[in-house]
Amino acid sequence: MTRLIDTHAHYNDEKFDGLRDELIGSLLGGGTELIINAGTNLDTCRSSVALAAKYDGIYAACGIHPEDCGKYGDMEFVLSELKAMLGHPKVVALGEIGLDNHWEDPPADVQKKWFYAQLSLASELEIPVIIHDREAHGACMDAVKEFKGVKGVFHSFSGSAEMAKELVKLGFYISFSGTVTFKNASRVLESASAVPLDRLLVETDCPYLAPHPFRGKLNHSGYMTYTAQKLAEIKGVPYDELCCAVNENARRLFRL
């Protein structure tokens, strides 16, 4: 059975304290080929880089998440720190960045300022981005249209099938997590159906979004098979063909 690349994880989350090393060792020694661990603020970016330095099978992404951008006053300093980390040989993307309208704090204008600044940095460095889009589909679409040279992935996609098609035309990849297996996931299923096989990625977003039948439990890369099996069913292709395709897509996008 084909080993999978987990394109979005958070193994530096405190939920993994006490079991992190043993779990990562078993995953990389088993059905997980590679893991991209995403930072969300300067501290978690640094710990993501440290994880990548420690394990051959882990790469890192560094960026300021929309929920975390309100904690920083000196944007110039933060961006300079990010730029330094993005130069590390095992950092493969700027992320996760984006917009989140589910929460009112930090305000939308603050989130937008940080999102656009980081998209500008990605353009300067010619590095792919990992975008968090929660209840901000139109604003995120407007942003990526403004930075036409920037490419990347919308992770744990929750937008419409029409949005997915438009993003693919713009050169983006679309990633799906365990949400595609949820019983109430009709919108996600429609979106997954609309994404061509050569633009599809698989992720966990662990420790969150464990697939059915593990929903609500601690998620990890070993559960990706359930997401991949569902996507193979949706796309009407054999499981191993789906896995080979999403792995090749990950290698292409992140230059692995």
Q: What is the pLDDT of residue 148?
A: 93
Q: What is the pLDDT of residues 206-226, one digit of tens each?
A: 999 999 999 999 999 999 999
Helix (H) / strand (E) element for 139: namely helix 137-146
Tokens of 35: 């893991």
Residue 186's pLDDT is 93
Residue 167 has a pLDDT of 98
At CB < 8 A and 24+ separation, what contacts does 102-109 make? 102/134, 102/135, 103/67, 105/70, 106/66, 106/67, 106/69, 106/70, 107/70, 108/139
| Two structure tokens written together for 239 | 């499981």
pLDDT beneath 70, residues of the chain: none
Q: What is the pLDDT of residue 8?
A: 98
Residue 103: the pLDDT is 84
